[in-house]
Structure 1
Amino acid sequence: MKKPILHIALLLLTSFSALAQMQPFALQDVKLTGGPFKNAQDVDMRYILALNPDKLLAPYLIDAGLPLKAPRYGNWESSGLDGHIGGHYLSALALLYASTGDAELKKRLDYMIDQLAQCQAKNGNGYVGGIPQGKVFWERIHKGDIDGSSFGLNNTWVPLYNIHKLFAGLRDAYEYAGNQQAKQVLIGLGDWFIELIKPLSDDQIQQVLRTEHGGINETFADLYILTKDRKYLETAQRISHRALLNPLLAKEDKLTGLHANTQIPKVIGFEKIATLTGKSDWSEAAQYFWRNVSQTRSVAFGGNSVREHFNPTTDFSQVLRSNQGPETCNSFNMLRLSKALFLDKNDVSYVDFYERTLYNHILSSQHPSTGGFVYFTPIRPNHYRVYSQPETSMWCCVGSGLENHTKYGELIYSHTANDLFVNLFIPSTVNWSGKKVKLTQRTEFPYQNQSELIVETTKPQEFSLHIRYPKWAEKLAILVNGNVQPVNGKPANYVAIRRKWKSGDKVTVQFKTSTQLEYLPDGSNWAAFVNGPIVLAAKTSTADLKGLFADDSRMGHETKGKLYPITNAYALVGDPATYLKGLKPASRLRFNLDTLTLQPFYEVHDARYQMYFQTFSKSAYDEQKARLKQQEAEALALEARTVDKVNCGEQQPEVDHQYKGEKSDSGYDDEQFWRRTRSFIAYQLQNKNRAGKYIDIELVESGKLDTMSFLINDKPAEILSNEGKMIRLKADSQDVLLLKIMARAGTSTPRFHQIRLVTQ
């Protein structure tokens, strides 16, 4: 009698460098089957279907001179960024169609592409866009008439950023949904753009690129992939922003003070261009940027920035104080960069960051029942977030939010020619058509520290199944058909099981997690509780959630409720060894901490919350509390008498206040943003209830009045005082105040830091 041949599972810790090139699965091949991500996808579909395609198309029809079928949306869609949501919507429809196969999504996508094609045909030169007065604007650029700042190009709000959304949406409509017409519109738009910039010198192009332009270089790299025509790859390199690229090539950190989401898409483009050209230094620059942002500029949930800008790596105090914490768009793009680098470099550390950000920022940025999207996620203790609504909110984070929850299947699994990789523990199935293998993952992670993988195959076949060993996992155990296997090695890699697989084979992955304190990167005494990859937070109050669901106002994405004193926040006091001892398990991923209940942050909604806690010895606590109480009282008193304010040189505050200007520049020095001009700058202030009596203008340095003059609502302003770095003007008693600052006789004004409309 012959002895049966035993197929022994071989478990190895595999170095990624020895593996073949990693490939993603198509979204069509991966299906979510349950859990919070499936809920987020379903809720997102309802939000997507609540939007009216004809309203989103309106800016394009207006620009092409075609009759409207519905009026355009309000909010950002009719105040300068007209059409940007339409581009995101194309991507969201294509991605969600690929993920679900829903016929209504495909119907809407095909309809929108057809309408855009008609706009392109009417324009007659390949152009299609929703930018206000687009034809006039682009003609000025074509002629070399360029006056740009970080967000305004010829006094037009980020036009290249805007049109990049259309480029990306057309690409996704073809790539993910197979719409051939989208490919043709995309090529026509790309050819128009190449002709547009042909007369410009390299210096002029770099001047244009000073203004936020999204990932326009990436989309031209994509056009090269689609067509193999080198003119697109050459253009992609030509429109790569050297002011960011050159310091990254030199491994120099010049990021502090820069508008964060302006930079991340550029770097995605650098990385893609590197993969197509062999420019290894460009890829190294992208890796340097990723390490800098993910390791030194990101908070526990993966987000970065304060008031949309990179804060100093040595001081996160602004992030802690502000109601404008990390922006969701930043994490949307950091995940895209992490995915690209993971696929290129075969380094699992990119997945570690991807997972942390996916669970804690992206998942938490959507309301689990209404589907509303979050712009800012403050880490200020006892504050809250604002959620969008389909008819009122057209912010950038609505656009990226529409996409965020359509593509959760993009990196749960990956593969090489002969191996299958399990990267994330999310209930789902994957169809590996190349091997005629289906893998089903059953898990309740993070509420249960286990995942089961069931193999289905048409015939027994040999390949390696690689299971990610997360850096946070403790005591990883793997069972194959119930038999415990030895696992040797360290976290932050893969365990490879090589065997001849047959249908019904089951792999069980088990591990433990523990709760740790994770401090802010600046070395301060603020820490968050993190269990495995899950950031924990506590609901603290439901009081004064003003503007919880956004209206259609220009700044509806910002919280309007009271800022509660940070000195009243919960703190951890005692010896460091005792901080975690007060945490008592209550139920599934819930822990009691004194009177608080900590739970996954992505579960915390419709409430104020605390995520970060100060840690003190008893003596340090008493001393610090007295000092901070005075500082906090002064700051809150200033806010209480403030009716409106503009942070000069910061992108969103200036956009929110209808900034206009000529011959103006802005910057960031000595931890202060600023703007100055050799001609004029103007802002629109909202004087609610006509309560504002004075306009205080704070300078970076003392300024002489003979270098500038001021108008309020087109009338000379009365200057009440000029002391040190502060100028006080008498406010007009109107609902809206247009403040115009003009330079005298061609001289440059001083640098303006902040403008406040105050009651006293």
Structure 2
Amino acid sequence: MRDFQAGHVRLLPGPLKKRFELNKQYMMSLTNENLLRSFYLEAGLWSYSGTGGTTSATTTSMDGPEHWHWGWESPTCELRGHIMGHWLSAAARIYAQTGDPLVKAKADYIVAELKRCQEANGGEWLAAFPETYMERIASGKFVWAPHYTIHKLLMGLYEIYAITDNEHAVHLISGIAAWFYRWTGQFSQEQMDELLDLETGGMLEAWADLYGITGDEKHLELIRRYDRRRFFDALIDGKDVLTNKHANTQIPEILGAARAWEVTGDERYRKIVEAFWAIAVTNRGYVATGAGDNGELWMPANEMAARLGVGQEHCCNYNMMRLAHVLLRWTGDPIYADYWERRFMNGVLAHQHGDTGMISYFLGAAAGSKKTWGSPTQHFWCCHGTLMQANASYESQIFMEEESGITICQWLPSELHCDHSGNAISIRLEQEGQHGIYPLNNWSVEGMTAITKVNIPSIPVQRPDSFIYKITVKVEQATTFTLKLRMPWWLKGRPKISVNGTEPEQKVVEASSFFRLTREWLSGDTITLELSKALTAEPLLGEPGTYAFLDGPIVLAGLTSEERVLSGDPSRPETMLAPDRERNHGWWNPGYYRTKGVDHGFRFIPLYEVKDESYSIYFPIQTS
């Protein structure tokens, strides 16, 4: 499978699009001066007036520090500058989807100013901190992750180049690469191995991206130098070198190995990625949200009950979604799209405040958890950066392309416009208004009309246990190709599929598979798909008798500040939970339940709807 170029897929109007727009508004609210301040300081260019290409005569800003960026972007924080890369990456993706010239102009201006900073630094070094940080780590002195911070900048510059065609960005990367090529050339293999045991983030991925552009032997050599052999070789040998280790260090390194395989063809890198997935996911298992980490550390395989603490980290969530998508692209196996969906619904959406757009660094799964929200300019945690990226790139996972046709991997309302085999094709994916899944689709004109008129088909009497999707195909001319539809992991029973009102011949259709429709498509052909779901209970690994509840793909949060024991049959969760507040004016509310037969009962809502409430995900269940 292969991805469509950025901009070929756009979200349809609805709550998910509103989240995207909320993220865009926040991104654009961050001023150029604040994003660039520490880069200016390091280059000796502060305070730059921004007019006439000259610097001011003073070294202080007339803008009071109460308006500056603080937290991890503070001039006193060693990690300062990491947000710049995230911002550039998100800006590139937002521009590709919206074509907003203001986003492009802001990004281009920032790249031009970074160019001025690099020139002032001598033409190579570019960072929000001094070169001496690198010398300190080389001499064994602690610095907070300078490699990690540099990678974020490289990542953002690469995406600005790859998505928006800003040639200046790749020249900046090449200058940084020249500095690192010379710097790392002084170290022996053992010394490099010691350096790579620190938090290097995705430096390997950055060099692989650059080599994919230039084909320069020096950039290939940087790939070799940033190959973390101690870690990678142990993975290939099947050793669990993850448990209790820093997940947000290791996942970016594996993404680097994945990209290294794509640009070099060296099979060893692919084996590293596959070995990592087996140890991190397949053999380890995960909690209901899909997380195998707690507090950024990998939990023991299949023994997670004692590790529910502060919860999953957003950066780990986002980067594991990226890795799942890479493996989907390589293999075409729907299990990776299933994993992506679980972590999207119960990670990306659950970590973001639906009203303010801000981030919760961690997402707890223990009894009485609460989300702690960041602020627009006072925190800037690492997860604040991946918040911007994740909420700028919902669309990139929905459709994929193969020689034989097009695949729908995720059920998110959107529209694809592409050229396939020389034919212009558009595919519109919508959710039927009365079977929508909030927050992807929470109202429709149809839904509002249905509550006032009597001469149209009636809406369901009670909340449906299925989601219905409408897929409309438009083609420039009649053409034959295969449209593949992912049957998700939460599917219950046989899906209902029709093309222009006629049901095609169906073999056995199972969850976690692709259903193929191969035919000559005419403009206006319509597919209707109904996917049944159910309320289910998933056990907690390491604690038999303790369960989380899910409504289809949605993890439910019980609104209680303490552990509560429920009584019933886990194979029949409807013995413990009853539908609650299922209808809201013109739409249904999936995931709303209340307890049955419990003193001081409490409610369940989707984890992604929790804002400031205390909640619990797992519950001991007494069976009779």
Q: What TM-score, normalized by structure 2, do the two folds share? A: 0.86
The counterpart of 2:355, out of the listed 369, 373, 387, is 369
Instruction: Report the equivalent of 2:27.
Output: 48
Deviation at 1:532, TM superposition (A): 1.9
Deviation at 1:363, TM superposition (A): 1.0
Instruction: Report the equivalent of 2:441.
Output: none
- C-alpha separation in 1, matches of 2:346 and 2:362: 14
Deviation at 1:330, TM superposition (A): 0.2
Instruction: Report the equivalent of 1:300.
Output: 288
From the superposition, tell whether residues 533 and 579 of structure 1 become closer, same or farther in structure 2 (CA, over 3 Å). Answer: closer
Deviation at 1:404, TM superposition (A): 0.8
Taking the TM superposition and a 5 Å limit, the aligned residue runs for 1:245-394 are: 245-295=232-282, 296-320=284-308, 322=309, 324-394=310-380
The counterpart of 1:570, out of the listed 564, 569, 583, is 564
The counterpart of 1:61, out of the listed 40, 44, 52, is 40
Deviation at 1:125, TM superposition (A): 3.8
Deviation at 1:575, TM superposition (A): 5.0
1:441 and 2:441 aligned = no
Instruction: Report the equivalent of 2:485.
Output: 467
1:503 and 2:523 aligned = yes
- C-alpha separation in 2, matches of 1:185 and 1:242: 28
1:616 and 2:604 aligned = no
Instruction: Report the equivalent of 1:135.
Output: 131
- C-alpha separation in 2, matches of 1:520 and 1:43: 35
From the superposition, tell whether residues 577 and 62 of structure 1 become closer, same or farther in structure 2 (CA, over 3 Å). Answer: closer
Identity of aligned residues (%): 31
Deviation at 1:574, TM superposition (A): 4.6
Deviation at 1:36, TM superposition (A): 3.5
- C-alpha separation in 1, matches of 2:572 and 2:553: 22
Instruction: Give a deviation string over 1:35-89, Cα, whole Å, max 9, x none.
Output: 4421220111121122122112111111111123466522111221111111111
- C-alpha separation in 2, matches of 1:68 and 1:245: 45
Residue aligned with 2:227, SS:
coil
- Is the CA contact (8 Å cut-off) linking 2:145 and 2:199 kept in structure 1? yes
Name the Cα RMSD after superposition: 1.8
Instruction: Give a deviation string over 1:214-235, Cα, whole Å, max 9, x none.
Output: 1100110000111122321231
Deviation at 1:291, TM superposition (A): 3.2
Name which of structure 1's ranges 111-120 and 471-480 shifts more when overlaid on structure 2: 471-480
Taking the TM superposition and a 5 Å limit, the aligned residue runs for 1:30-429 are: 30-69=9-48, 73-78=69-74, 79-131=77-129, 134-139=130-135, 145-147=138-140, 154-295=141-282, 296-320=284-308, 322=309, 324-429=310-415
- C-alpha separation in 2, matches of 1:137 and 1:363: 36
Q: Kindly provide the amino acid, as one letter, of the partner of residue 337 in structure 2.
A: V
Taking the TM superposition and a 5 Å limit, the aligned residue runs for 1:416-565 are: 416-434=402-420, 435-443=423-431, 445-446=436-437, 449-474=467-492, 475-489=494-508, 490-540=510-560
- C-alpha separation in 2, matches of 1:577 and 1:115: 60
Name which of structure 1's ranges 68-77 and 438-447 shifts more when overlaid on structure 2: 68-77
- Is the CA contact (8 Å cut-off) linking 2:87 and 2:156 kept in structure 1? yes
Q: Kindly provide the amino acid, as one letter, of the partner of residue 51 in structure 1.
A: L
1:607 and 2:616 aligned = no
Residue aligned with 2:244, SS:
coil
Residue aligned with 2:547, SS:
strand
From the superposition, tell whether residues 365 and 576 of structure 1 become closer, same or farther in structure 2 (CA, over 3 Å). Answer: closer
Q: Kindly provide the amino acid, as one letter, of the partner of residue 540 in structure 2.
A: L
Deviation at 1:417, TM superposition (A): 2.9
- C-alpha separation in 2, matches of 1:95 and 1:198: 35
Deviation at 1:526, TM superposition (A): 2.5
- C-alpha separation in 2, matches of 1:136 and 1:367: 38
Question: Which consecutive aligned stretches of 4+ in structure 1 deviate over 4 angstroms post-superposition?
Answer: 69-72, 574-579
Q: Kindly provide the amino acid, as one letter, of the partner of residue 200 in structure 1.
A: F
Q: Which runs of 5+ in 2 are unaligned?
A: 49-60, 439-465, 583-588
- C-alpha separation in 2, matches of 1:354 and 1:428: 17
> Which protein shows a greater Rg?
1
- C-alpha separation in 2, matches of 1:455 and 1:282: 39
Instruction: Give a deviation string over 1:390-440, Cα, whole Å, max 9, x none.
Output: 121211000111111000011100001340111111111001123300111
The counterpart of 2:603, out of the listed 597, 602, 613, is 597
- C-alpha separation in 2, matches of 1:108 and 1:287: 39
- C-alpha separation in 2, matches of 1:298 and 1:110: 41
Q: Kindly provide the amino acid, as one letter, of the partner of residue 405 in structure 2.
A: D
- Is the CA contact (8 Å cut-off) linking 2:566 and 2:576 kept in structure 1? no
- Is the CA contact (8 Å cut-off) linking 1:411 and 1:423 kept in structure 2? yes
- Is the CA contact (8 Å cut-off) linking 1:466 and 1:494 kept in structure 2? yes
From the superposition, tell whether residues 129 and 309 of structure 1 become closer, same or farther in structure 2 (CA, over 3 Å). Answer: same
Structure showing the higher strand proportion among its residues: 1
Q: Kindly provide the amino acid, as one letter, of the partner of residue 85 in structure 2.
A: G
Instruction: Report the equivalent of 2:446.
Output: none
From the superposition, tell whether residues 284 and 521 of structure 1 become closer, same or farther in structure 2 (CA, over 3 Å). Answer: farther
- C-alpha separation in 2, matches of 1:374 and 1:325: 11
- Is the CA contact (8 Å cut-off) linking 1:520 and 1:526 kept in structure 2? yes
Instruction: Report the equivalent of 1:583.
Output: 577
Q: Kindly provide the amino acid, as one letter, of the partner of residue 578 in structure 2.
A: K
- C-alpha separation in 1, matches of 2:98 and 2:403: 26
- C-alpha separation in 2, matches of 1:415 and 1:579: 39
Deviation at 1:482, TM superposition (A): 0.5
- C-alpha separation in 2, matches of 1:194 and 1:526: 52
From the superposition, tell whether residues 617 and 466 of structure 1 become closer, same or farther in structure 2 (CA, over 3 Å). Answer: closer
Task: Give aligned pairs, total.
Answer: 558
- Is the CA contact (8 Å cut-off) linking 1:300 and 1:518 kept in structure 2? yes
- Is the CA contact (8 Å cut-off) linking 1:311 and 1:319 kept in structure 2? yes
- C-alpha separation in 2, matches of 1:493 and 1:416: 16
- Is the CA contact (8 Å cut-off) linking 2:286 and 2:302 kept in structure 1? no
- C-alpha separation in 2, matches of 1:237 and 1:349: 31
Instruction: Give a deviation string over 1:667-686, Cα, whole Å, max 9, x none.
Output: xxxxxxxxxxxxxxxxxxxx
- C-alpha separation in 2, matches of 1:353 and 1:291: 13
- Is the CA contact (8 Å cut-off) linking 1:450 and 1:508 kept in structure 2? yes
- Is the CA contact (8 Å cut-off) linking 2:325 and 2:397 kept in structure 1? yes
Residue aligned with 1:49, SS:
helix
